[in-house]
A and B are shown apart, each in its own frame.
Chain A
Amino acid sequence: MDKPEDEKYWSSSATKGFDFDSEENEHAGDIFGATPLQTAQLSKEVQQNIPHQPVVSRGETHRKLSNSLSSLSTCSNSSYKFNTSQPTKQCEVTCKLLSSTINDETMSSPKDVVRSIFLGMSYDLSCFKKLSDKKILLDEALKLGDGDVICAVLLFLQKSLHQVVLFPLLKERYVAAREYIAILEKQKCFKEAAILCGELQQTKEAVVHLYNSCFREGEQTIQSSLEQIYKNELKNFKQIEVESEIIEEHILLLERQGPIAVTRARLPQSEIDDTRTSPFIGKAVTAQNLVGSSLLSTLQYCCRHNWDAPENLLASPIGLKKTFKLTERQFLWNAFIGRILMNEDPLPILLVKGMFGAPKISASLSIPRILEIASNLNGKPNLFDQLLLLVEKSEKRYQLAKKYQRHRIVIDVLISNKDRISLLQYRDSIDDQSEIDYINNTLRVSVSSVKCFNH
């Protein structure tokens, strides 16, 4: 036999296989269930059934066979019709075994598949192999508008497409891209989400995804993860100067918090039991929860425990203020709260020199608010007296003194206003005997002085 005939013979053979080199082929009938003669006979019979067609290339034959196979498994409206008579069962088996062409024809209508997903019916997306088919499928899902259907298609695309191909496809489909970012977030694939956001020109969001990825592994690795993204990842994005600066500050703070917390790992019982707080301020942190707390909480902690630390130490309040460029207001409030919680006198921190050298409260803070917080935190009585004396308007001083029950200041305001009736009324409203005596003495002196004056 010449070569083409050889090829024809072997490609149309219905037997399972044959080895030319085998010494056993003489007795093959025992193993294969047929002798070479029988196979040749069968081949001839099969050839007779095949209508004569022009010689086709090997590739084309291959494709046709593959088409015919696919048509067996699915109902399709494929344009190609295999117009020979049906091959035998054995022929089909051989084709399945030897054919290596992947079925690249889309068999189901994307619209029907999308509808099936929408209605909760069973569906198979594996037949969408070509990129163009996948695009059509995604567009159909987007057209329907059901998020879950879009998600089902996206999960299929995630499995079957490389990121390099998938992302450009999503870039042109904003709704799908947003759904996919949400899927990636759920799967904790923050870096992939960041890349896609970068492709969508949403660089700030990309940074947020990368930043969030640093918190995945727990508190211990946050600092190193932040350092890693700060050094390696952020450079890939533009217009993120502010976010970059924030991440850098966060790293700086974590670098300080660890050593500060270690120095006071064991708390005195008095500190643990201290539950003083105010609705106008945040909750104070302890050494146990210092790492991971905010910058101002750390500052307040340092004002409590490291007030006198020199500036070059990590725990120095002044050092923190300078390093992080804190405002006067931020520093003063936290220093005030920190000192008062340590039962120290916070007033010197708040005072600045006024006109003509007289002390006054820093312009950044308001006395009523300071008094309110001092009251909530059980500040010492003399703090109230000192603060109230700094209130310029006597009417305001009177109201505040009355609110915080600083009787002597109330009485002094009333005396200076020469309001005898109010003074008498106030005397009747208080229980403090020394203050009552003070009022009585004042009234007596004023009466005698009037008498003397009259003489």
Chain B
Amino acid sequence: MDLGNLRQSSQFRLLNLLTKIAPSDVQKDLVIHEDLMKPIDLVSGARLLREQGVDKMFKLASVAPPWKNYIRLYFIPSIYAVAENVAKQLKRHGVEKTVSYHIIVVPKVLTVIHSLFESLGVLDFVTLHSYSWDFIPLDSNLLSLELHHLFKASFLKEENSLLTSVAKALMSFECLLGKFSCVMTLGEKSQRVHNLLNTWKNEIQPTFPVETEFTHLIMLDRNIDFVSLLLTQLTYEGVLDENLKMKSGFVYLDANGAEGSQRLMLNSASDEIYGEIKGKHISAVFQHLSKKAKELQQKRDIKNTDSIEEMKNFVSHDLKRIQSQQKSLALHISACEIVMKRQAGILEELLELQEDAMSGTKMKEYLAFLEDSIARQFNLATILRLCCLHSIMEDGLPEKEYHLLQRQLLQAYGYRHLTTLHYLQRLGLFNQRDSKMISLEPLLPDRLARVAHAASFRPERMPFRKICQRLNLLPLDESSQPNPCAKSGQHPSYVFGGVYTPLVYHFVERCLKEKEPSLGDYVRCFGNNLRIGDCSHPQWGARGKILVCFIGGVTLAEVASLDLLSRQLGRQIVVATTSTISGSDFMESMTSQHTDT
């Protein structure tokens, strides 16, 4: 499989667009939005842009940059507020006959954005372009569209304009790497993407390669399993993402990404040591790094005693590799130190609380902790994660408890978070338990939900704890102790310290287990949200590669669990996602006063 094809395809389209705007010998200025810098770097790199005539590059700010050339490009995400800022900036700047502005919107110029530019009367000197990249390979088993605002747009605001771009990216994937024979979807958005994918195929009638490597496409919505998002990730890569915020496969060791700070690229293809530790439980990482340090030292020491000839050979061949590994080792050790310092005295307590929430024990102490921490205004994102975890596992909170927490949260962190709590409620993360209103609505496709609503039909909705029990996702149930395999990495629950098996691991395993998927339990749990493709297809039982696509984001812990499944089944599983996401990142975006989509 050559995922490099995806990069080439994105690159080709970008260069094509730039050439269409102006030939490469015409100098251009480029203003780029912060969120797009890293993805563009991964797609084309600055050198290629320069070859296309890009002269000056600026980061998008609230005021116009000191322009140098007459052709001026803006690279922005399809976020209305960002587009509005640019449009107003251009409006202020006014018309200059010799200057032309080109706004490249990723992944597409939404109608609402076009309408905005039109209403401000700037289309006389501004041209809007859509540019959508293919899935960007972040690691050997991870592809991302880096559409971080998709979750909020699609799941929170229920505006589904970006889903078409996901469908297009999947079609492009098929065009490059072969058509999927078997498709399964779990969730309303996934189903919608699948429908759009079929519509596009019917419209475009593309040609697909004869030989196909990927036989299965399994699509899931992020809101099917929120617990995997709320629990603390305990794999090395997950811990780094939670604490240092991974951006397009990079983390900065000072977490603020200030200029000059050390940068760590999380890609196992280019970093052997990272490849060895990325999926390991955090408790085993430092031990591994220390062993590796000794090994590298030994390699150098051994060579010191060798003959001159061997020494010459060593310097020309092995030394560079060892030096690069040592450099990478030093960075990983620094990263570990930062995380340990940051989590000192907090992590263990949080893990215990999460364990209690999952097992449903010591609830009185759990609530006392929440009240106490809220009174001290302890980190809001952490508190909300615990509140949501409790609410999901208990199928909503009793009225009194809910109002008490709601009130105390607003008094401690500000009344403006009325909006935050409303968002969490809309997503089904922090709710008041309603014994009368037992409904499938949040899980059902809209049409069915409306029918159910219209007929005052109240179908039974399965509480998440019951889903966990039915699908055996709570290893704690059996012995009230975290699974002994938790840290060894033999059981998928190790990614969450043995308290929970990611639903995606179980779902993909069931889909691929035998010749026919055994998904009876899923039908009972998720009803209409599950769509199984044509099981009679000859390719169904084929042992091809599997693309697991997440709509709304994937956690690196889930990726690690699928990696384990891949090793267990002996089949390659590649994860494609609209973006990577971590609990801390998610909560911060929910609590942010700027909820633009």
Contacts and interface: CB of A to CB of B under 8 A. Distances in A.
Contacts of B422: 204-205, 208
A186 B85 CA distance: 12
Chain B's interface size range is 35 or more
Given A119-B203, A179-B159, A280-B378, A145 B196 contact: yes
Interface in B404-460: 406-408, 410-416, 418-419, 422, 425-426, 446-447, 449-450
A373 B373 CA distance: 12
A279 B346 contact: yes
Nearest to B345: A372
Contacts of B163: 146-147
Contacts of A185: 157
12 contacts: A145-B199, A146-B161, A146-B199, A147-B162, A148-B111, A151-B161, A175-B446, A182-B159, A185-B157, A282-B412, A296-B375, A334-B375
Contacts of B372: 329, 333, 364-366, 369
Contacts of A118: 199, 203
Main secondary structure of the interface of B (DSSP, over half): helix
Given A118-B199, A174-B450, A147 B159 contact: yes
A147 B161 contact: yes
A154 to B, nearest CB: 9
B421 to A, nearest CB: 9
Nearest to A173: B450
Interface in A175-230: 175, 178-179, 181-183, 185-186, 204-205, 208, 211-212, 215
Contact of B449 (A174, A204, A212, A253): A174
B192 interface: yes
B199 A151 contact: no
Contact of B416 (A186, A215, A297): A215
Interface string B186-218: 000000100110010001000000000000000
Given A147-B161, A369-B372, A246 B415 contact: yes
A243 B375 contact: no
Contact of B111 (A119, A151, A292): A151
A337 B415 CA distance: 22
Interface in A293-320: 293-297
Given A155-B115, A186-B112, A279-B346, A294 B377 contact: yes
Contact of A212 (B111, B115, B203, B419): B419
B167 to A, nearest CB: 9
Interface in A310-350: 324, 326-327, 329-330, 332-334, 337
A249 interface: yes
A431 B377 CA distance: 38
A178 B158 contact: yes
B111 A146 contact: no
B376 interface: yes
A155 B192 contact: no
A243 B199 contact: no
A152 B160 CA distance: 12
Chain A's interface size range is 35 or more
B183 to A, nearest CB: 16
B149 interface: no
List the 3 shortest-distance A-B pairs measured between CB atoms, nearest first.
A282-B377, A147-B160, A147-B161
A293 B419 contact: no
B446 A250 contact: no
A279 B425 CA distance: 28
Interface string B133-146: 00000000000000
Contacts of A148: 108, 110-111, 161, 164
A208 B418 contact: yes
A242 interface: yes
A259 to B, nearest CB: 19
Interface in B537-561: none
Interface of B: 80-81, 108, 110-112, 115, 130, 153, 157-164, 192, 195-196, 199, 203, 345-346, 371-373, 375-379, 403, 406-408, 410-416, 418-419, 422, 425-426, 446-447, 449-450, 593, 596-597
Given A208-B418, A253-B415, A282 B157 contact: no
A285 to B, nearest CB: 10
B157 A146 contact: no
A329 B403 contact: no
A280 B382 CA distance: 11
A337 B159 CA distance: 44
B465 to A, nearest CB: 26
Nearest to B193: A145
Residue among A246, A249, A372 with the highest chain B CB neighbour number at 10 A: A246
B415 A182 contact: no
A332 B164 CA distance: 53
Contacts of B160: 145-147, 150, 179
Contacts of A152: 111
Interface string A131-172: 000000000000011111011100100000000000000000
B566 to A, nearest CB: 32
A215 B419 CA distance: 12
A141 to B, nearest CB: 11
B197 to A, nearest CB: 11
A2 B288 CA distance: 110
Nearest to A281: B376
Contacts of A212: 419
A205 B199 contact: no
Contacts of A295: 410-412, 415
Given A246-B415, A249-B415, A151 B110 contact: yes
A147 B412 CA distance: 38
A381 to B, nearest CB: 21
A178 B446 CA distance: 11
Given A145-B192, A297-B377, A333-B375, 5 more contacts: A215-B416, A279-B379, A292-B414, A295-B411, A327-B375
B414 A324 contact: no
Contacts of B110: 148, 151
B59 to A, nearest CB: 24
B159 A282 contact: no
Residue among B153, B163, B414, B426 with the highest chain A CB neighbour number at 10 A: B414
Contacts of A373: 376
Interface string A232-260: 00000000001100110110010000000
B149 to A, nearest CB: 12
Nearest to B79: A186
Contact of A155 (B111, B157, B406, B425): B111
Nearest to A151: B111
Residue among A119, A329, A365 with the highest chain B CB neighbour number at 10 A: A329
Contacts of A372: 345
Contacts of A215: 416, 593
Nearest to A326: B411
Residue among A204, A208, A364, A366 with the highest chain B CB neighbour number at 10 A: A208
A189 B462 CA distance: 37
Nearest to A331: B375
A145 B446 contact: no
Contacts of B418: 208, 211, 243, 246
B551 to A, nearest CB: 13
B411 A329 contact: no
Contacts of B597: 182, 186
B411 A324 contact: yes
Contacts of B413: 282, 294
Contacts of B596: 186
Contacts of B415: 246-247, 249-250, 253, 294-295
Given A186-B112, A296-B412, A179 B196 contact: no
A155 B113 CA distance: 11
Nearest to A299: B411
B159 A151 contact: yes
Contacts of B164: 146-148
A330 B158 contact: no
A186 B116 CA distance: 10
A250 B410 CA distance: 10
Given A148-B110, A186-B80, A280 B411 contact: no
